[in-house]
Structure 1
Amino acid sequence: MLERLIKHQLTVPDSTIYYLPNWCDTTTADRFFERLKHELPWEQGEVKLFGKSHRIPRLQSWHGDPGVRYTYSNVELQAQGWSPALLELREKLLALDLTPNAVLANYYRDGMDSMGWHRDNEKELGARPVIASVSLGAERDFILRHRATQQREVLRLAHGSLLIMAGDTQHYWEHALPKRARVSRPRINLTFRTIRS
C-alpha cells in the first residue's frame, strides 16, 4: 500500500516509518493551520491515572465517520463529524492510498503543552496500525524510544510535514512530544487512523 513512499522511508530498526517534510507547502500549511484553529471545537480533556483525574497538557478534538468510537487511557471518545479542512486533508491522504476513517487533533498552545510516552496500540486500531501524522505550526521534537533496547530517535517535525508510522512500529516503539520551554508558537497535530469495529 505504501510502496510509492519507499524513498521517504527512515532507517529505523523494527519499524516502518515514512517522513515527508514538505507534504504541504508553507502557504497551504499556513492556511490549514488557521482554518483548523477556528473550525475545530477544542477541549482540554481529562485522563485517569491511578484513580485520579488529570487535565491533559494540550487541547484536543476527535473527528471521524458516523459511529466511530475510540478509547484510550480509559476514556471513550465519540467522533464528531469531519470539518471542511479535515476533509481536504483526508482527500490528500487518499491520494497516497491511505483510508483513515477518524482523526485525533491535538492543539499545543506553546512549548509547555506536551504528550507523554505512549504507543498507538489500542485494539480498535488492529495489530499493525497505520498512523498518518500531519504537523502544522511550530516545529517540535518528536521522540521515538525502542521498548527493548531503549534506543532513541529524534525527529524535528516541520510545518506542513507528514509522518507515517506503519508495520510493527507501534509494537516495538513508544513515542512522545516533550515540553520545550523555548517554543512560544502553537502547533496543531492531526493523527489520522483507521478504527475497526
Structure 2
Amino acid sequence: MDLFSITQVQNLLPFDGVANYHGIVLTKDQCNFYYQKLLDNITWENDKAIIFGKTIITKRKVAWYGVSEFAYTYSKITKTARLFTEELRQLKAIVEKESGETYNSCLLNLYHSGDEGMAYHSDGEKMLKKDGAIASLSLGAERKFSFKHKQTKQRIDIFLERGSLLVMKDKTQTNWLHRLPPTKKVQVPRINLTFRTIEL
C-alpha cells in the first residue's frame, strides 16, 4: 500500500496501532533554516550498536538531546543527552502544538545519502513512555518509510516529504516494525528528528 500527497491528518495503519501522518507542517523557509542550523550546530556522532557481541559503527550519524542530561540506552549502548538547543526547543514547540503531545527528548539521525538507511525495528526501549507518542519530523531529502506488521507481515509504505510530521503512538511499537529503506535515487542528506518521552 502506497500513500502519497496526504493533506489531512490520517492514521496510516489499518489496525493494531496509530501512525498519524500530519503532512507538511513547516514552510519551505523554515525547512531550509532549521536544516542548515541542525547540520551545522548539532554535535553529530557515528551511531554504535552491539550486535551478537560485536560493536558496529554506522555510517549515519546521530545526536541525543533532552530537557536534562539524562541517559538513554538502545542497542545496548547508553548515551547521555545534551541540553536542547534553541532551534530544537522551537521545533519541539511546533511538533507539540501540531501533535497535541508533549516530549522531553529528541533523537536525531543524519543520513548523508540514500545509501544510508535503517533496518526494520521497533522503538520499544523500557525507558520510553509505554505506548507514548514518538513524533518524527523530516528535513532535507525526501525518503520512503515502511511499516510491517509483526504477525501478518502486511506492509505500508509512505513517502516522507520535507517538513512533514509522522506521529506513532498507542500499540504501534508493540505490533509494527518500521524502517527507512536505502535507495540509490537520493544523493543529498536527510535529517530526521524523533521527539519522544523518556520516563525519568
| TM-score in terms of structure 2 length | 0.92
Distance in 2 of aligned mates of 1:140 and 1:182: 10
Verify: 1:195 aligned to 2:198, yes or no: yes
Counterpart of 1:53 in structure 2 is: 55
Quick one: which of 162, 171, 176 aligns to 1:159?
A: 162
Counterpart of 2:3 in structure 1 is: none
Please list the CA deviations of residues 40-74 of structure 1 after superposition, one character each: whole Å capped at 9, or x if unmatched.
01110211110111112310010002132211000
Distance in 2 of aligned mates of 1:152 and 1:95: 29
Verify: 1:103 aligned to 2:145, yes or no: no
SS of aligned partner of 2:11: coil
Counterpart of 1:143 in structure 2 is: 146
Contact 2:61 2:110 in 1 (8 A): yes
Give the CA deviation at 1:10.
2.1
Cα 1:130–1:36 change in 2 (3 A) is same
Distance in 2 of aligned mates of 1:154 and 1:27: 27
Cα 1:163–1:50 change in 2 (3 A) is same
SS of aligned partner of 1:125: coil
Verify: 1:180 aligned to 2:193, yes or no: no
Q: Which amino acid aligns with 1:48?
A: I
Contact 2:9 2:23 in 1 (8 A): no
Give the aligned CA root-mean-square deviation in angstroms.
1.2
Verify: 1:131 aligned to 2:96, yes or no: no
Q: Which amino acid aligns with 2:11?
A: L
Distance in 2 of aligned mates of 1:152 and 1:103: 27
Give the CA deviation at 1:93.
2.3
Contact 1:57 1:115 in 2 (8 A): no
Counterpart of 1:73 in structure 2 is: 75
Give the CA deviation at 1:120.
0.7
SS of aligned partner of 1:77: strand
Please list the CA deviations of residues 144-193 of structure 1 after superposition, one character each: whole Å capped at 9, or x if unmatched.
00000000000110000000001111110000101101210110000000
Please list the CA deviations of residues 104-124 of structure 1 after superposition, one character each: whole Å capped at 9, or x if unmatched.
000000011111111011111
Give the CA deviation at 1:11.
4.4
Contact 2:110 2:190 in 1 (8 A): yes
> Unmatched 5+ residue regions in structure 1?
1-6
Q: Percent of aligned positions with the same letter in both sequences? A: 36
Give the CA deviation at 1:127.
2.2
Quick one: which of 23, 26, 37 aligns to 1:24?
A: 26
Q: Which amino acid aligns with 2:80?
A: Q
Counterpart of 1:4 in structure 2 is: none
Distance in 2 of aligned mates of 1:67 and 1:24: 28
SS of aligned partner of 1:38: helix
Verify: 1:112 aligned to 2:84, yes or no: no
> Unmatched 5+ residue regions in structure 2?
1-7
Cα 1:85–1:118 change in 2 (3 A) is same
Distance in 1 of aligned mates of 2:104 and 2:194: 11
